[in-house]
Amino acid sequence: MADLQEYKCPCCGGAIEFNSTLQKLKCPFCDTEFEMDALKSFDEDIKDEGSDDYTWQSQAGEEWQEGETNGINSYSCKSCGGEIITDATTAATSCPYCGNPVVLKGQLSGVLKPDFVIPFKLDKEAAMEKMKNHLKGKKLLPKSFSSEQHIEEIKGIYVPYWLFDTDVDAKLRYKATKVTRWDDSKFNYKRTDYFSVSRAGKIAFEKVPVDGSSKMDDTLMESLEPFKFKEATSFNAAYLAGYMADKYDVTDVQSQERANERVKVATINAFTRTVEGYDSVDIEGTSLRLKNATAKYALYPVWILNTNWNGQKFVFAMNGQTGKFVGNLPCDKGLFWKYFFRTFAITSVIALVAQFVLNLVM
């Protein structure tokens, strides 16, 4: 069985957590604060750990079917002895019996150890406040959503990301046109000049993030960007205390395709901006070569809020570093059509009156 890491307060023995406001570990029981360096020794044994070996024993008279035990891990809580069942990717969680936060060292050791982590900067209260602001000013939001929606779950999760650095050598070809118009007494003229345009050069990207967890919706995670990598630090498992964390289950190789797509779009846009002075520009060919491409593994902070309204589930997310809050909201169809027909009626009347007045004065 893999070892659990619980960060116990040296003063009172309570389970300490990472406090995003103080950027330190703090005991919620005796309010003692600890610098991150003070718990460095906890990480020393993580570095030397090898991979775990889970050998399952089937129950007497009952055999696990092939594949049934895949993806399930079992641990014993050091505080209360309760059994903690997690899926294969969980790296930090809390005991469902006593609530103590635990870090599953085996999930973050050896080749699984993250290179970087951006610690949480914003706490649960900030997430709740952002949620309230997110609902304000939305004219088509059903009136009952704000009052009736129930937050079923709010959790701070360190989401695994692959961060890609790469240099790009780019060559692009375009077809561009310039249009000139003039007229005389008898004809309207239009001359179109056609150009072949070439651009080539270099550009580099650093820490392009791609979500490494299949459990987290990729579009939701991309909506939370950008993350400021400048505030990332070397990984220290103590940052995870009090939060949930997953290890990656989408490898860097699997994530490369998405990184390539994003790098390609950014490169094309950067070079196309240098094609100026034309009325139309169409790309005819591109050649992008990546050099010095590397991938690093990091944990980025995200608050996830699961709510329920009118029998529907809604997921909201907040960037735990910058506070950017996203989440799609339902649309009240009645309000939609009300605004539609109101605008239609007012604008039509104004347009009719304007035409009449113009006809009079001209």
- 210-249: contacts with another protein (CB under 8 A): 218-220, 222-223, 225-226
Site string for another protein, 258-277 (x = CB under 8 A): -x-xxx-xx--xxx--x---
Gap between the Cα atoms of 210 and 161, Å rounded: 6
> Which of the stretches 35-43, 119-127, 178-186, 302-310 binds another protein when contact is defined by CB under 8 A?
178-186
Task: Please say which residue, 2 or 140, places its beta carbon nearer to another protein.
Answer: 140
Give, as ranges, the residues between 329 and 348 that touch another protein (CB under 8 A). Answer: 329-331, 336-337, 339-341, 343-348
Residue 58: is it exposed, middle or buried by C-beta count within 10 angstroms (0-12/13-18/19+)? exposed
Q: Provide the token pair at 318.
A: 């907040």
* DSSP structure class, residue 323: -
Task: Give the residue, chosen from 47, 143, 186, 230, that forms a contact with another protein under the rule CB under 8 A.
Answer: 186
Residue type, 355: Q
Task: Please say which residue, 21 or 219, places its beta carbon nearer to another protein.
Answer: 219
User: Is 306 a binder of another protein (CB under 8 A)?
Assistant: no
User: Is 129 a binder of another protein (CB under 8 A)?
Assistant: no
Task: Give the residue, chosen from 11, 70, 328, 334, that forms a contact with another protein under the rule CB under 8 A.
Answer: 328
Give, as ranges, the residues between 140 and 169 that touch another protein (CB under 8 A). Answer: 140-141, 167
The closest alpha carbon to 25, from 11, 39, 4, belongs to 39
The closest alpha carbon to 90, from 106, 70, 69, 66, belongs to 106
Helix (H) or strand (E) holding 336: helix 333-361
Q: 137: phi > 0 → left, psi -120 to 50 → alpha, else beta; which?
A: left
Gap between the Cα atoms of 125 and 167, Å rounded: 40
Task: Give the residue, chosen from 124, 155, 199, 215, that forms a contact with another protein under the rule CB under 8 A.
Answer: 199
CB of 229 to another protein, least distance (A): 8
Residue type, 290: L
- Beta sheet of 17-19, edge-to-edge order: 17-19, 24-26, 33-34
Task: Give the residue, chosen from 41, 59, 185, 312, that forms a contact with another protein under the rule CB under 8 A.
Answer: 185
Helix (H) or strand (E) holding 253: helix 252-272
Task: Please say which residue, 60 or 362, places its beta carbon nearer to another protein.
Answer: 362
Task: Give the residue, chosen from 208, 216, 250, 318, that forms a contact with another protein under the rule CB under 8 A.
Answer: 208
User: Is 115 a binder of another protein (CB under 8 A)?
Assistant: no
